[in-house]
Amino acid sequence: MKRTKTVLIIKEDELRSSLVEPYLRKDGWRTLVVGERQSFMRVLGDDPPNLAILELGTQSVCAEYLCRKIRERSHVPIIVVVPLKSDWNPIDALYHGADDYVVSPIDPEEFVAKAHVVFRRSWVYTNQVSHSVSYGRGRLVIDYRNQDVQFDGRQVMLTNTEYTLLKTICDSTHRTLTRSELMRNILGYRIEVDTRSIDVHIKNIRRKLETNPREPEIVLTVRGSGYKMGLSKDRVGESAVH
């Protein structure tokens, strides 16, 4: 029996109906709609969703807070819906733990497709066969099954999108991946969009992972091209730092 996916929709403007809820419900999602003043944190604990949607108002005052609070409690993927005339830059959502954003008015079919992509990306990387891969003689260790990342023995908390980008760059050791390639293959877009979101995710990865983000060792920038892995993949038996 196919399990119904659950989406938690948090509305900043509690007087307005949810913009995306009808589209997701029609697509077969089980929807939980709450206002930002309600205890959405309790919902995260009592009835963990597969996806969280933040619907922001035109004068958002809680966007950063909502993203941070969700990320403190859960690894659930987050999509932020930002009005076109909002005074809040949607790129900022990525800095505070969101996996993706959409600017409204939205195309229903495109939005539902994006929801599936973000959910699928999260599901794939939390349901893999349990094994770890290390790089740089054990300095960087990625546990596929638990979506766990450690660098120099320190656990690093990444969002689903950050984890996916890091793993993809690591899997393509020493091969340069362009921003457009990452956008298409990792984020699942089939249309031309602003690739700045990739740069924001990379900055977040470096801030959390690198000893000195200004002089990265792991995710390297190839000027005019994109990004590549800076550490070599360890051979079997070479996973410890000597």
Structure-token match 């954003």, residue found? 101
Find the radius of gyration of the CA atoms of the chain: 18
Q: Is 20 helix (H, G, I), strand (E, B) or coil?
A: coil
Distance separating alpha carbons of residues 50 and 26, to the nearest angstrom: 17
Evaluate if pTM is beyond 0.75.
no
Query: 1: which 2 tokens?
Result: 């029996």
Task: Average pLDDT across each block of 10 residues of the chain; the chain has 242 residues. List them in order.
Answer: 77 82 93 78 75 82 77 83 81 83 89 87 57 84 82 87 88 84 68 70 92 92 91 65 42
Residue 8, strand partner residues:
32, 52
Query: 212: which 2 tokens?
Result: 């000195």
Query: 77: which 2 tokens?
Result: 């993927």
Nearest partner of 53 among 87, 95, 22, 88, judged by Cα: 22
Nearest partner of 72 among 34, 41, 33, judged by Cα: 41
Nearest partner of 89 among 77, 80, 97, 99, judged by Cα: 80
Looking at residue 205, what is its pLDDT? 94
Residue 22 zone, left/alpha/beta (φ > 0; ψ -120 to 50; rest): alpha
Looking at residue 242, what is its pLDDT? 40
Chain CA centroid to CA 231, Å: 23
Looking at residue 189, what is its pLDDT? 52
Q: Is 219 helix (H, G, I), strand (E, B) or coil?
A: strand
Nearest partner of 238 among 139, 131, 129, 147, judged by Cα: 139
Helical H runs in 131-241? 160-171, 179-185, 196-209
Distance separating alpha carbons of residues 220 and 207, to the nearest angstrom: 13
Query: 110: which 2 tokens?
Result: 């495109």
Nearest partner of 71 among 97, 34, 51, 90, judged by Cα: 97
Residue type, 19: L
Distance separating alpha carbons of residues 106 and 83, to the nearest angstrom: 9
Please report the domains of the chain, with CATH numbers, ordered by start residue. 6-125 (3.40.50.2300), 132-229 (1.10.10.10)
